[in-house]
Structure 1
Amino acid sequence: MTTSNSDPELRFQHTMWASMLAPEHMQKVRDEVTERFVPAGAFVCRKGDPVDHWMGVIDGFLKMSSISPEGKTVTFSCMLAGGWFGEGSLLKTEPRRYDVVALRDTRVAFMPRTTFNYLLDHSIPFNRFLLHQLNARLGLFISLVEYDRMLDPDTRVARCLAAMFHPYLNPASSMQLQISQEEIGYISSVSRQRANQALQLLEKKQLLRVDYGGITILNLDGLRSFPQETER
């Protein structure tokens, strides 16, 4: 993981909360947030690490996961450009409870704990944003329990793809998503081959289109309610 020196303004171009801050608060953020480059396959942070920063994706793709005592990898979430994470651990002042790995070359913004706490103390819009984000993340994690325990692989792929389109968790996502079938397998906890089968089915149902190097979402509500939506 190396330090990068790109234009500070570009660090926040996809970040929802940045536009909500007062000018003097945003200037403090610009001055104190740093950036690091994380190559594909490298750890951004590991389970058990001390939590000293709030982190955001400038560009790239991260996976948040943990390994169970039985050796099973459980994927909690993925983060694209504009997504920020780690607020729960900062608020509770506890060690990191998950691993975050770069699935492709990624630039990550690091906001120090002191800056994060300053915004909590001085910015009502920032507090409102965090409430909405924490609520969205809670809903996502509850749904992941259902995905893992109750849903078949096709439905799991559909719902995990749909979860990537959330204004608070992944605000920069467009309907054209540059993602490989291997990456879809990672976030859905299925093999690449099984992810390919699921994508073929979802394409047949006209919920998405498989493109070269990615997918285009055609019916986001249909993905969220699959398979019920296709049975009507």
Structure 2
Amino acid sequence: MKQAVPFGERLSLVSSSPIFQALDSSILSEIARRAVCRTHPPGEFLYRKGEEADSVLLVINGLVRLSLASPEGREFSVRLATRGDSLGETALANAISRDTDCLALTHSRVLKIRRNMLSKADIGAISSDLNRLLGQRLSSLLAIVEEIALHNLEGRLARLFCRLDQQQYLSLHQLHQGLLANMANASRPKVNQQLKKLHNLGAIKLASGQVISINRALLTKLFTIKGEKVSRHNETGR
């Protein structure tokens, strides 16, 4: 669904994106003018894996999830994105198709910037920043794979909460237990069990089954961020 967004807000979003910061103000203004705003209700896909990669999306507001899914229905969350984040950046690196599914978890609005809005010179100007961002995406994905391979569920949840805490614009209460289980690569019952344990330890606070706050200092004390197990409680729950 298309929805109007004031030009000033469009320009601010485009100008503040790490992808486009090397472009001249006149080019940024043209991109902001031509970009299309789309609104997605919760549960609607912004795009699906395998679809044509013809644009990059900038999140205006809301919460979206990038994930991979198996034919049997198992899912793996790659990352969450919210205001100011970009989606589908590989489209600007000449990717042919989308490599993940992208789903709106809440009512979300995005700014769609088609690849053909940028000239070859523009693509060349942003290539360094684009490669840097894609490198960061790869590093983040490898960190997730490392956690799944090397750490048990309690430790994975602790590290997940610490990462989310760094993203101050992302509210923990938006993450229901099903999504937390998906992000931690575990079943919901096991996640529920570990959340209760972390709550009893004082590392997180639960209310009506939702995580409403975390004690980052205690989480860091119980589980070192770099993976060394230091808690006598962390031998269960894989």
TM-score by length of 1: 0.77
Q: 1:86 to 1:162 in 2, by over 3 A?
A: farther
| Residue in structure 2 matching 1:37, options 39, 62, 68 | 39
The equivalences for 1:7-86 within 5 A come to 7-11=6-10, 12-13=12-13, 15-17=16-18, 21-86=23-88
Where in structure 1 are there 5+ consecutive unaligned residues?
A: 167-171
> CA offset at residue 157 of structure 1?
2.2
SS where residue 111 of structure 2 aligns?
strand
The answer to whether the 8 A contact 2:92-2:123 is kept is no
Per the alignment, residue 3 of structure 1 pairs with 2
Q: 1:104 to 1:175 in 2, by over 3 A?
A: closer
SS where residue 43 of structure 2 aligns?
coil
Deviates more, 1:55-64 or 1:127-136: 127-136
SS where residue 65 of structure 1 aligns?
strand
SS where residue 198 of structure 1 aligns?
helix
Letter of the 2:129 counterpart: F
Distance 2:161 2:194 in 1: 11
Letter of the 1:102 counterpart: A
Deviates more, 1:15-24 or 1:91-100: 15-24
Distance 2:44 2:98 in 1: 16
Q: 1:95 to 1:158 in 2, by over 3 A?
A: same
Deviates more, 1:56-65 or 1:14-23: 14-23
Per the alignment, residue 155 of structure 1 pairs with 155
Distance 1:131 1:217 in 2: 34
SS where residue 3 of structure 1 aligns?
coil
Letter of the 1:195 counterpart: V
Letter of the 1:121 counterpart: G
Per the alignment, residue 140 of structure 2 pairs with 140
What RMSD over aligned residues (CA atoms) do the two structures have, in Å?
A: 3.3
Deviates more, 1:76-85 or 1:177-186: 177-186
The equivalences for 1:80-159 within 5 A come to 80-116=82-118, 119-122=122-125, 126-159=126-159
| Residue in structure 2 matching 1:186, options 182, 186, 195 | 182
Where in structure 2 are there 5+ consecutive unaligned residues?
A: 233-238
Letter of the 2:45 counterpart: F
Distance 1:90 1:110 in 2: 13
SS where residue 66 of structure 1 aligns?
strand
Q: How many residues align?
A: 223
Letter of the 2:6 counterpart: D
Distance 1:87 1:48 in 2: 15
Per the alignment, residue 169 of structure 1 pairs with none
Distance 1:200 1:224 in 2: 20
Distance 2:215 2:206 in 1: 10
Letter of the 1:149 counterpart: A
Q: 1:24 to 1:98 in 2, by over 3 A?
A: same
Distance 1:163 1:10 in 2: 28
> CA offset at residue 195 of structure 1?
3.1
The answer to whether the 8 A contact 1:181-1:195 is kept is no
Q: 1:165 to 1:110 in 2, by over 3 A?
A: farther
SS where residue 58 of structure 2 aligns?
strand
Per the alignment, residue 216 of structure 2 pairs with 219
Q: 1:224 to 1:209 in 2, by over 3 A?
A: farther
Larger Rg belongs to: 2
Distance 1:21 1:211 in 2: 46
> CA offset at residue 54 of structure 1?
0.4
